[in-house]
Amino acid sequence: MRRALLPYAFVAPAVIVMAALMVFPMGRMIHMSLFQDLFSRVGEQFVGFENYADLFQKELFWVALANSIIFVVASLIIHQIVGGGLALLLTSRMRGSLRTFFRAIFITPWLIIPAVVAITWVLLLDHRGGFNSMLRSLGIVECCPPPEWFGDFKLAMPALIATNGWGGYPLTMIMWLAGLQSIPKDHYEAASVDGAGRWRRFRHITLPAMGPTILTILLLDTIYTFRNWDLPFLTTGGGPGDTTMVLPLLTYREAFIGFNFGISAASAVMILVITAFFVFWFLRIRGRLLEG
Amino acid sequence: MIRNAVARQPGAGAAPAAGRGALRRWPSHLEIIIRGLVLLALAVVVLYPIFWLITNSIRPNGEIFKHPAEWLPPTPTLEAYGKVFGKGLWLRIFLNSYFVAGATTLLAITLGALAAYGISRFAFRGKRLLEFFVVGTQQIPPVAMIIPFFALVRQFGLYDTHLALIITYAAFALPLAILMLTTYFATIPIELEESAFIDGAGRLRMLWTIMRPLALPGIVATGVFAFILSFQDLLFAVQLTVSDDMRTIPLGIVTLIGQQNVDWHQMLAASVIASIPLLVLYALAQRYLVSGLTLGAVKQ
């Protein structure tokens, strides 16, 4: 083989698979968002941005967008606090076997299939579920009928966030651990010699070194949480009264329940656009961090 | 940076030198004990939902939503597990999931390693564009493609086959696989290959004999990610398969949620059994997982 073509031969199989199975369908989705009467006998009609106009006129779209943002922001905060905190605790001085043991325990929720995560939390947060039993036996909630967490207008979103917080923090923790590992040990030693305390070492060594890593984690986590379909679908289905309706659910519902394929496609494109916006924003901040 | 991280035990980086400051940090034993207790308390909180899942799976069917419930079932029974193991269909479903996830992992690692080798070892036109392409594809949300995907899969006559699931999952695992492996390969000194190159080894052989053993942690970590991705998916499994014996585990569990009632008993037992393989996979791969994850995009 000609030498100049060699690198292309290495990357070609992966590129072909990704182009055929990701880029092409995505392009087709964008294309679909500009048409009406898709998959119908009359044949598809080009309507320009009409699907988008229809989508933006739906109140549900704005509700879903707001819910998605709440869901993502709250999940990310929980993931960073729990995942980052645990990673810091796990990298502190302790016996190796103990570290392996605790790391295995704290990673467990990541290894549970999302469908099982949803089922477990529905079981736990049912009004006759384990969480209410526990609150009762601890004497916290004694009065009145116990709350149905996923079925309550005010509690459904917090319950969904808690579920996703539990299922999602380990990934943040793993990435924090990988990032913490790559901070050279001698930085800490030098700081110790200079008499820097724990807080100052964290503030002046760990945080700056972790900055770009944290941004990468936030970026990936935003992408993964924003597109999360399984958990809301299986726990609340968007209810009660659309209080947990998020964009992926709306996309799914428009296509498979309403058969509005054009609007569903427009909604899908909005997910992509918003994700791209966040990614661009994070990359810019990260670029600035890496330079400065 | 990454090179050091590979060899080092996780966490060693953050541990301050023990001897030097020991006098100043007087309560170090007390501190270790407190930290241990905090970790233990957090472990209890994190494991509580799993505890609840397992204990409910061994309650008699009528007691699953008893309120207030005892912490431990007073009359444990393995009846639900009998229901799951008694059905040939469940065995089939479990095998389906292993097969699909295993094949996905192999495919994603093979294609990912080839591409990562190309990116990390060659300079070529369009490389920046390719990297942009890889990062960009990672952002494509699965729910945004199911309709065209469905049409595509039907067109090629792959509807209701495992092959459709395997190539789909492999495509979704590839961007992260390429990013992870490219950064991992970049940590391996190129000199190691040069001597082999003089011996006349071909590139593919070099990838197999030199890179594969050296990049093992990265490859294992990538494989675990790909395996988990395909093992956990529900969305594509729902859309691309229809017959009972094509089901994967998440779909098998979800189909127990009927229109009128939910077979909680069987669902909980199946959930517990379904969770075991990934726990075992983690136990086998945990040595490599954190050290193999050099966070693709982080260190460029």
* Residue range(s) defining the domain that contains residue A91: 57-117+146-291
Contact B143 A25 (CB under 8 A): no
> What's the whole-number mean pLDDT along residues A190-213?
81
How many CB atoms lie under 10 A from the CB of residue B38?
Answer: 12
Q: Quick one: pLDDT at residue B247?
A: 93
Q: Do A29 and B145 touch (CB under 8 A)?
A: yes
Asked if B30 is an interface residue toward chain A (Cβ–Cβ < 8 A), one would say no
What architecture does CATH give domain B82-292? Orthogonal Bundle (1.10)
Tell me what pLDDT residue B7 has. Answer: 36
Contact partners, residue B133, CB within 8 Å, separation at least 6: A15, A18
Q: What is the mean pLDDT of residues B246-264?
A: 86
What is the ipTM score, two decimals?
0.88
What are the start-end ranges of the H helices in chain A?
6-18, 24-32, 50-57, 59-78, 85-91, 96-111, 114-125, 130-137, 156-181, 185-193, 198-201, 207-226, 230-235, 247-256, 261-291
Average pLDDT estimate for B30-57: 91
Specify the CATH number for the domain of residue A247: 1.10.3720.10
Which pLDDT value is given to residue B259? Answer: 67
Q: Determine the residue among B147, B172, B185 to mutate to test chain A binding: the one whose Cβ has the most chain A Cβ atoms within 10 Å.
A: B147
Q: Let me know if residue A127 belongs to a domain.
A: no
Query: How far is it, in rounded angstroms, from Cα A234 to Cα B280?
Result: 26
DSSP string computed for A83-130: IIHHHHHHHSS--HHHHHHHHHHHHHHHHS-HHHHHHHHHHHHSTTSH
Which residue has better confidence, B239 or A92? Answer: B239
Taking the whole predicted model, whether its pTM rises above 0.95 is answered as no
Q: Is B173 exposed, middle or buried (0-12, 13-18, 19+ CB in 10 A)?
A: buried
Could you tell me if residue A89 is inside a domain? yes
Answer whether residue A290 shows pLDDT above 90: no
**What are the pLDDT digits (tens) for B133-144?**
988 888 888 888
The beta-carbon neighbor of B271 closest among A119, A255, A276 is: A119
**Does position B298 have pLDDT exceeding 90, yes or no?**
no
Question: Which residue of chain B has the CA closest to A188?
Answer: B16
pLDDT of residue B16: 45
Taking every pair of Cα atoms in chain B, the longest distance, rounded to a whole number of angstroms, is 74
When mean pLDDT is compared across A57-61, B57-61, B216-220, B248-252, the lowest value belongs to: B57-61
| Sequence-separated (6 or more) residues with CB below 8 Å from residue A257 | none
Structure confidence at residue B294 (pLDDT)? 58
Q: Picking from A245-249, A259-263, B262-266, B275-279, which range would have the lowest pLDDT averaged per residue?
A: B262-266
Mutant choice from B154, B295, B299, B300 vs A, greatest count of A C-beta within 10 A: B295
Interchain CB distance below 8 Å, A174 and B168:
no
Q: Does the structure show a pLDDT above 90 at A267?
A: yes
Query: What is the distance between the alpha carbons of residues B254 and B81, in angstroms, rounded to a whole number?
Result: 17
Percent residues over pLDDT 90 in chain B: 38
Residue A37 lies inside a defined structural domain of this protein: no
Is the Cβ of A122 closer than 8 Å to some Cβ of chain B?
no
> Considering only residues 70 to 109 of chain B, which have any Cβ-Cβ distance to chain A shorter than 8 Å?
none
pLDDT class of B209 with cuts at 50, 70, 90: confident
Q: What is the mean pLDDT of residues A176-193?
A: 81
What pLDDT is recorded for position A2? Answer: 62
Question: Whose structure tokens read 């094509």?
Answer: B246
- Domain(s) labelled CATH 1.10.3720.10 in chain B stretch across 82-292
Whether A25 sits inside 8 A of B294 (CB atoms) is no
Structural contact between residues B144 and A26, judged by C-beta atoms closer than 8 angstroms: yes
Q: Which positions ≥6 away from B84 have C-beta within 8 Å? A: B90, B266, B269, B270, B273
DSSP H helical segments within B13-141, as ranges? 28-57, 79-85, 88-121, 127-138
Minimal Cβ distance to A25: which of B10, B152, B234 = B152
Residue A247 has pLDDT above 90, yes or no: yes
Q: Using a CB–CB cutoff of 8 Å, tell me whether A13 touches chain B.
A: yes
Any CB–CB contact under 8 A between A81 and chain B? Answer: no
pLDDT of residue B3: 35
Q: With respect to residue A86, please indicate whether it lies within any of the assigned structural domains.
A: yes
Chains A & B: contacts with CB separation below 8 Å: 315
CB within 8 Å: A182 and B13 = yes
Q: Residue B40: what pLDDT? A: 94
pLDDT digits (tens, 9 = 90+) for B87-136: 888 999 999 999 999 999 999 999 999 999 999 888 888 888 998 898 88
A81, pLDDT greater than 90: yes
The verdict on a CB contact (< 8 Å) between B282 and A128 is no
Mean pLDDT within B212-217? 87
pLDDT for the residue B19: 45
Closest CA to B225 of B160, B167, B287, B292: B292
Q: Is A17 a member of any domain?
A: no
pLDDT score for B200: 65
Contact B112, B263 (CB under 8 A): no
pLDDT higher than 60, residue B20? no
Q: What is the mean pLDDT of residues B203-227?
A: 87
B37 touches chain A (CB under 8 A): no
Average pLDDT, chain B: 82
Chain A partners within 8 Å of B143 (Cβ): 227, 229, 248, 251-252, 268, 271
CA distance A90 to A176: 10
Reported confidence tier of residue B21, pLDDT bands at 50, 70, 90: very low
Q: CB-CB: which of B12, B52, B271 is closest to A124?
A: B52
Among A113, A173, A194, which would you mutate to test the B interface (most chain B Cβ atoms within 10 Å of its Cβ)? Answer: A113
User: What is the Cβ-side half-sphere exposure of residue A20, based on CA atoms within 13 angstroms?
Assistant: 15
Does the CB of A93 have a partner CB in chain B at under 8 Å? Answer: yes
Block residue for tokens 């209701």: B160
Q: What percentage of residues in chain B have a pLDDT greater than 70? A: 86
Chain A (178-217) residues lying within 8 Å, Cβ to Cβ, of chain B: 178-185, 188-189, 192-193, 201, 206, 212-213, 216
| Interval A6-19 mean pLDDT | 92
Q: Is B273 on the interface with A (CB under 8 A)?
A: no
- Which has more pLDDT, A174 or B8? A174
Q: Is the CB of B69 less than 8 angstroms away from the CB of A226?
A: no
Angstrom distances, CA of residue A111 to CA of A212, A264, B105, B113: 26, 31, 16, 24
In a domain, residue A104? The reply is yes
- Site from A181, A189, A227 to mutate, B interface, most B CB atoms within 10 angstroms: A181
Res B2 pLDDT > 70: no
Residue B23 has pLDDT above 70, yes or no: no
Residues of A in contact with B180 (CB under 8 A): none
pLDDT-wise least confident of A120-129, B65-74, B165-174, B180-189? B65-74
Q: Is the pLDDT of residue A210 over 80?
A: yes
The answer to whether B43 contacts A179, with C-beta atoms less than 8 Å apart, is: no
How many other CB atoms are there within 10 angstroms of residue A107's CB atom?
Answer: 22
Domain count, chain A: 1
pLDDT for residue B173: 94
pLDDT of A146 over the 90 cut:
no
Which single residue is written with the structure tokens 């609840």?
B52
Q: Compare all CA atoms of chain B with the CA of A5 and give the residue at the minimum distance.
A: B124
